[in-house]
Amino acid sequence: MRLLLALLVALIAGSAAAQQKLDLGRSGGVCPLNGICSDTPPAFSNDRRVLTGAWYFATRTAPNIQLLAGSGTYTTPATTFYLEVEMVGGGGGGGGSGTSGGTGGTGGNTTFGSLTANGGTGGATAGGAAGTGGTATGGDYNLLGGNGGTTLTATNQFGGVGGVSFFGASGVPGNNLGGTGGPAQATSGSGGGGGGAGGTAGPGGGGGAGGYLTKIITSPSATFSFAVGASGTGGTAGTGGVPGGAGGTGHILVKAYFQ
């Protein structure tokens, strides 16, 4: 009986100590390996949480995430440790089909401070050249946008497919019965599809995609000027043809992380 009582006392004491460690861990306290806990957190650098002889359970703040639109000024949240910026330029429009169809419009450039992701160019018409992808500068990783699909100068031909950006979702080509070029998805930065050719020769080329970049900013400024690239318009229909699809708008995604 005495042995059983001693075991129960030890179990209760251990549970109380474990609860103390759990409570302190939730509030940012310290429980060294010797079992003596403290409410005072130890000093640490570079956001380290594992320390010699103790565990420090710190509360964490979720990142502040903003998808920017249009143009304006981004204000860095207070106490930001670093920013992660991801951006793409606007996609070019697909060319229109038919006789004297219109070339697609060029996508707008996306900027954030000194970072730039250029828009793709529009696709030409009547079997002409497809749009080219935009460049990007200033990022830790810069990716050229995809070129649009080329076409043949003939009747009953599909239009060119839209160039693909880092985010995909480009415009589909118009079919070989004279189908209209499809638009790229909004905020994708991809190119629009070219108009298809039916009985009249001359399908439109696909628009080029916008350039893409990603950047870690370790010492962010208080504010940054920004502008999101607009979509390139689809080329107009020529005689006996159909219009091309519009490119996708660009976007800027900014994540602010806290220490």
DSSP state letters, 17-84: HHHHHHHHHHHT-EEETTS--BSSPPP-STT--EETTEEE----PPPEEEEE-SEEEEEPPTTEEEEE
How many CB atoms lie under 10 A from the CB of residue 78? 9
pLDDT at res. 26: 41
Average confidence (pLDDT) over 126-142: 92
DSSP string for residues in 74-88: EEPPTTEEEEEEEEE
Average confidence (pLDDT) over 44-67: 61
pLDDT at res. 126: 75
Q: Which residue has the higher pLDDT, 125 or 249?
A: 249
pLDDT at res. 6: 52
Q: Looking at the predicted structure, is the pLDDT value of residue 22 above 60?
A: no
Q: Which residue has the higher pLDDT, 244 or 20?
A: 244
DSSP 8-state assignment for residue 93: P
Q: Which residue has the higher pLDDT, 27 or 201?
A: 201
